[in-house]
Amino acid sequence: MHEYIGKDVQLIYNDSKKNITIRDIRVLVAGNKRFMAYCYKAKEVRSFLKSGIVDIEKLRYKQENTEGVKVCE
């Protein structure tokens, strides 16, 4: 996941409720089990479990500017 920090990616993700979602995100910080990313769909920073990743692909186009984004907990 560290190779995606600062990059926009499309994520197919299986959340804790077993819902599969497709999200366009910008990876901000990556740890051992979790990572933080700006989610363009939710328009806020979200926490994701690495174990929930079904597939990940680098986006070929640039998303909107995320400067000044408020971090929501």
Rounded to an integer, the average pLDDT of 24-34 is 96
Lowest average pLDDT, out of 9-18, 44-53, 58-67, goes to 58-67
- CA dist 15 and 73 (Å) reads 17
End-to-end alpha-carbon separation of the chain, Å? 21
Domain-wise residue ranges, the chain: 2-58
Task: Please state the pTM of the whole predicted model.
Answer: 0.79
What CATH number matches the domain at 2-58, 2.40.50.140, 3.10.20.30, 2.10.109.10, 2.30.30.100?
2.30.30.100
Rounded to an integer, the average pLDDT of 32-50 is 96
The model's confidence at residue 43, banded by pLDDT at 50, 70 and 90, is: very high
**What per-residue confidence (pLDDT) applies to 64?**
57
- Which residue is associated with the tokens 């995320």? 66
